[in-house]
């Protein structure tokens, strides 16, 4: 492995000094889709089908996300990060939906929901896995 470090003691030198390098061989494909914040409902629907879970998680933050898309992004086959983003939207119904989630972190996030039913709140309050998560994040 060769490095282009500037020797210590030379002005502007040292381990973290700037050095010449080539540009990365990476090209991000152009897309016709706008950012999530600028997308209309149909574009949100398209973005929600992205293969990238980060894009799907970002879709949940749109004020234009339709209920059926948010429900789809809350389903158990979605990555935990997407389901967690969905429950954190605060939209009606998301907390009760997340109360049934297989991952305790998502269920713990549901516990903070304004729309969580009393029945689910009691159940999650006594759920040992949810309580373990709550203990970990509160210390």
What distance in Å separates the CA atoms of residue 98 and residue 21, rounded to the nearest whole number?
A: 47
Residue 108 phi, psi dihedral angles, 5° rounding: -65, -40
Give the per-residue pLDDT at 28. 43
Q: How many other C-beta atoms lie within 10 A of the C-beta of residue 72?
A: 18
What distance in Å separates the CA atoms of residue 28 and residue 55, rounded to the nearest whole number?
A: 14
Give the per-residue pLDDT at 32. 63
pLDDT digits (tens, 9 = 90+) for 98-125: 999 999 999 999 998 899 999 999 999 9
Give the per-residue pLDDT at 29. 45
- For 105, the token pair is 């972190």
Residue ranges, the chain, pLDDT below 70: 1-33, 139
Give the per-residue pLDDT at 5. 61
Three-state DSSP state, 113: coil
Give the per-residue pLDDT at 138. 77
């Amino acid at each position: 492995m060769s490095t282009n470090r500037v020797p210590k003691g030379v002005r502007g030198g040292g381990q973290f000094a700037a050095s010449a390098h080539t540009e990365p061989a990476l090209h991000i494909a152009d897309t016709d889709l706008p950012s999530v914040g600028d997308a209309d409902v149909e574009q949100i629907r398209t973005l929600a089908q992205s293969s990238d879970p980060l894009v799907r998680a970002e879709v949940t933050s749109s004020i234009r996300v339709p209920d059926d898309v948010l429900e789809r992004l809350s389903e158990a086959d979605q990555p935990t990060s997407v389901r967690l983003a969905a429950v954190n939207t605060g939209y009606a119904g998301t907390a009760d939906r997340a109360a049934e989630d297989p991952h305790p972190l998502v269920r713990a996030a549901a516990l903070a929901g304004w729309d969580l039913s009393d029945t689910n709140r009691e159940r999650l309050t006594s759920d040992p896995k949810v309580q373990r998560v709550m203990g970990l994040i509160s210390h």
